[in-house]
Amino acid sequence: MIDVLLGLQWGDEGKGKIVDYLAEKYDIIARFQGGPNAGHTLYIKEKKVVLHTIPSGIFQSHCLNLIGNGVVIDPATLCKEIDSVLPLCPDLLDRLFLSQKAHLILPTHRALDAASEASKGEEKIGSTLKGIGPAYMDKTGRNGIRVGDILSDSFDEKYAKLKKKHLELIRQYGGVAIDWEQWEQPFFEAVARMKQLQIVNAEYWLENHIKEGKKILAEGAQGSMLDVDFGTYPFVTSSNTIAAGVCSGLGVSPSRIGDVYGITKAYCTRVGSGPFPSELEDETGEALRRAGNEFGATTGRPRRCGWIDLVALRYAVMLSGVNKLILTKTDVLDGFTPLKAATSYMVNGVETKELPFDLCEKGISPVYTELNGWDKPISSCSEYGELPIGFKEYCQFIEEYLGAKISHISNGTGRHQLIVIS
């Protein structure tokens, strides 16, 4: 069976930390979508590590790690990441596998991302500018280059053809001043190195492991509200971040899917542009950013902060069939009393618990329910029984509203700062 772990908000819910912890009981961790726009933070022997493409199971020495076909890979970023992780994980290359069907991000994809964002002006998406959108456009436009292509003699020809096309597009955007040689040198060096990695026919590879009874965890990137179909379109990423993405992003059948872990922060953040109904653009928002150290793991940008949005969360739980909730960054809410939770929206004077078609529309405001919260610091609690009553009330309220049980509560950055409930 394949269990799934995914973010329920706008990303950065703490997926890296939780996958690193859960990986102890899995044999394989597999990324199924996204690319180096992801930044998953782990603390390994008290050292901070941010993973962008490598799955977060790499530090559990028994775990194999797969970068699936649904991921888009920037070769230079991947190799840089490998070099930075190797000293902490000397057998990394023995346990890292790449699907031959994963698509490559070319230097010109990154340039196109920048040109596209610049052309949008005020309406820019706030992309991480890693080339994600253009790479997925070439995939669905049937022009992309895949990992398997780097082993073929026609790679250079394919590259030159696609680059030519991209340069024409970049010209249409008004051009960009780029020293291509400087961008291409690390790309080609990394492509050469990638040939030495374990490139596999990942669908069969996974199927064989499943048949052997191995336990697999699919690690989501981004979050459900950034899903290209169901997120706050057009302010989204370019992949399916919900559980459905696992089947197409790894080549496994829906009947193989087991538990679905959904991660949410105990409050809410968003990095980049786009609607965020429960955003706090005041001192409380600032205090959350400070307490939660809310700065992007990939871009360093300050994250926008706000109250937990149960309307959006319930939608995300529904879309992915989440049966296990994981509540993270709960310690950040110490002393934030009272707490608020968005429990419905007013849409042009009408109250609703459904997510509207376009959250960007004016005239949408959240309706809050107030909860007591708690004062006592909770980061040293290791059992549910030790938590303050206000904390338990908050958890029960969330569970009842979402119709799903909390399985883990994270109360600090460390691997073991985690209260296991079920």
DSSP code string of 240-291: --STHHHHHHHT--GGGEEEEEEEEESSEEE-SSS--TTB--SHHHHHHHHH
Residue 250 near residue 141, CB atoms below 8 Å: no
Q: Which is nearer to ligand IMO, 130 or 289 (CB)?
A: 130
Query: Minimum distance between the CB of residue 386 and ligand IMO, rounded to whole angstroms?
Result: 30
Asked if 12 interacts with Mg ion (CB under 5 A), we say yes
- Binders of ligand IMO among 278-297, rule CB under 6 A? 297
Please give the Cα distance from 243 to 222 (Å, whole number).
12
Residue 132 binding partner per list Mg ion, ligand IMO, ligand GDP, none, with a CB distance cut-off of 5 to 8 Å that depends on partner kind: ligand IMO
Asked if 297 interacts with Mg ion (CB under 5 A), we say yes
Distances (CA, A) of 312 to 8, 27, 307, 339, 347: 8, 32, 12, 17, 14
Task: Tell me which amino acid residue 336 is.
Answer: F
Residue 127 binding partner per list ligand GDP, Mg ion, ligand IMO, none, with a CB distance cut-off of 5 to 8 Å that depends on partner kind: ligand IMO
What number of other Cβ atoms are within 10 A of residue 347's Cβ? 17
Query: Minimum distance between the CB of residue 35 and ligand IMO, rounded to whole angstroms?
Result: 8
Asked if 128 interacts with ligand IMO (CB under 6 A), we say yes
**408 a catalytic residue:** no
Q: Which is nearer to ligand GDP, 202 or 419 (CB)?
A: 419
Q: Which is nearer to ligand IMO, 41 or 369 (CB)?
A: 41
Residue 33 binding partner per list ligand GDP, Mg ion, ligand IMO, none, with a CB distance cut-off of 5 to 8 Å that depends on partner kind: none
Please give the Cα distance from 22 to 416 (Å, whole number).
10
Please give the Cα distance from 409 to 326 (Å, whole number).
6
Task: Tell me which amino acid residue 421 is.
Answer: I
Asked if 7 interacts with ligand IMO (CB under 6 A), we say yes
Instruction: Using alpha carbons, select from 21, 31, 24 the residue that is nearest to residue 62.
Output: 24
Choice from 127, 240, 320, 330 touching ligand IMO (CB under 6 A)? 127
Instruction: Using alpha carbons, select from 271, 269, 347, 273 the residue that is nearest to residue 308.
Output: 269
Catalytic residue among 3, 12, 20, 227: 12
239: DSSP letter: S
Residue 81 binding partner per list Mg ion, ligand GDP, ligand IMO, none, with a CB distance cut-off of 5 to 8 Å that depends on partner kind: none
Q: Which is nearer to ligand GDP, 271 or 371 (CB)?
A: 271
Choice from 37, 116, 328, 411 touching ligand IMO (CB under 6 A)? 37
Residue 122 near residue 195, CB atoms below 8 Å: no
**179 a catalytic residue:** no
Q: Which is nearer to ligand GDP, 39 or 134 (CB)?
A: 39
Catalytic residue among 40, 109, 166, 209: 40
Please give the Cα distance from 95 to 198 (Å, whole number).
9
State both tokens at 186: 């690390």
Residue 410 binding partner per list Mg ion, ligand IMO, ligand GDP, none, with a CB distance cut-off of 5 to 8 Å that depends on partner kind: ligand GDP
Catalytic residues: 12, 40
